[in-house]
């Protein structure tokens, strides 16, 4: 029996078209609401003085969860049995979880980084064999910016499984320099010159006081340990300035900075 065009339209096309339109409407509005709610949640957390890294991470998770609810609501408009869909998704999720165990490990590592907070946004860190400024931490990976302005994307599992060195965690850092002089140079004069340079450098902190001590008698030089304290933000600039000032002052005052040398003796075989 052939269906008339009116029957086909009224029985199938219009009802299904209505369901599809309603599903699309639910998805579009729901996704918009998910974004609005996520932004609202992030603003509330920011007002509560929560770290920006944690705000971004929780915002991503909240948006993903809300979007999953929106998708299920849209499927219900199409007449899909969401209970069965959830069972199927659960089985599929198990299979996908086994296939993507490395990604899930990175997700768990991201959660641990957020909970224990070994660093925050803007910190200069060394982790996973990479050094850079932390720009973002996401569900599965984090983003670091290197000193030469490269962007490094690293799995959270790689970061959390390695030693994390946070150079910005403390307000102050100690500069450790080893300065060598010749064995014939005046030790007291060299020490006084170095101390004078440290005292004249504005970025060197008075407390803790800088120290200059005899470190060891090396193979080619008498080595001083030079240890001033500076603000973490001044570390590299001050280190470079001190090295330049010490070299310039030593040259002016006749203090040598020796380098490793070897005496090579050649013997000629008399029978040759």
Provide the angle, in degrees to the nearest 10, between the axes of the packed helices 52-77 and 82-99. 140
CATH number at residue 179: 3.30.70.100
Same domain, 162 and 183: no
3-state secondary structure at position 79: coil
Is the model's pTM score more than 0.95? no
15-34 pLDDT tens trace: 666 777 887 888 888 889 88
Looking at the domain assignment, is residue 265 inside a domain? no
CA angle 149, 152, 158 (to 5 degrees): 150
What is the reported pLDDT for 173?
A: 94
Looking at the domain assignment, is residue 148 inside a domain? yes
Same domain, 36 and 81: yes
Residues 50-74 as b or e (16 or more Cβ within 10 Å = b)? eeebbbbbbbbebbeebbeebbbeb
- pLDDT reading at 237 higher than 90: yes
Number of structural domains found in the chain: 3
Q: Which domain holds residue 127?
A: 117-166
Q: Which pLDDT band, with edges at 50, 70 and 90, does 272 fall under? A: low
């Amino acid at each position: 029996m052939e269906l008339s065009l009116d029957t086909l339209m009224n029985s199938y096309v219009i009802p299904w078209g209505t369901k599809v339109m309603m599903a699309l409407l639910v998805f579009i509005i729901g996704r918009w609401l998910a974004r609005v709610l996520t932004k609202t949640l992030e603003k509330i957390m920011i007002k509560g003085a929560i770290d920006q890294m944690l705000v971004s991470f929780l915002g991503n998770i909240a948006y993903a969860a809300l979007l999953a609810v929106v998708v299920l609501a849209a499927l219900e408009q199409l007449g899909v049995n969401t209970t069965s869909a959830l069972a199927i998704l659960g089985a599929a999720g198990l299979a996908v979880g086994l296939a993507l165990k490395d990604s899930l490990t990175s997700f768990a590592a991201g959660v641990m980084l957020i909970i224990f907070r070994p660093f925050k946004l803007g910190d200069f860190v060394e982790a996973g064999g990479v050094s850079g400024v932390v720009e973002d931490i996401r569900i599965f990976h984090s983003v670091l910016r290197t000193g030469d302005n490269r962007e490094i994307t690293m799995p959270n599992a790689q970061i959390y499984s390695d030693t994390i060195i946070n150079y910005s965690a403390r307000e102050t850092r100690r500069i450790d320099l080893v300065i060598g002089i010749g064995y014939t140079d005046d030790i007291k004069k060299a020490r006084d010159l170095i101390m004078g340079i440290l005292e004249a450098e504005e970025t060197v902190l008075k407390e803790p006081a800088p120290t200059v001590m005899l470190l060891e008698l090396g193979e080619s030089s008498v080595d001083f340990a030079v240890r001033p304290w500076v603000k973490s933000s001044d570390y590299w600039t001050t280190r470079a300035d001190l090295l330049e000032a010490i070299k310039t002052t030593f040259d002016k005052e006749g203090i040598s900075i020796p380098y490793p040398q070897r005496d090579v003796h050649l013997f000629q075989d008399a029978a040759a």
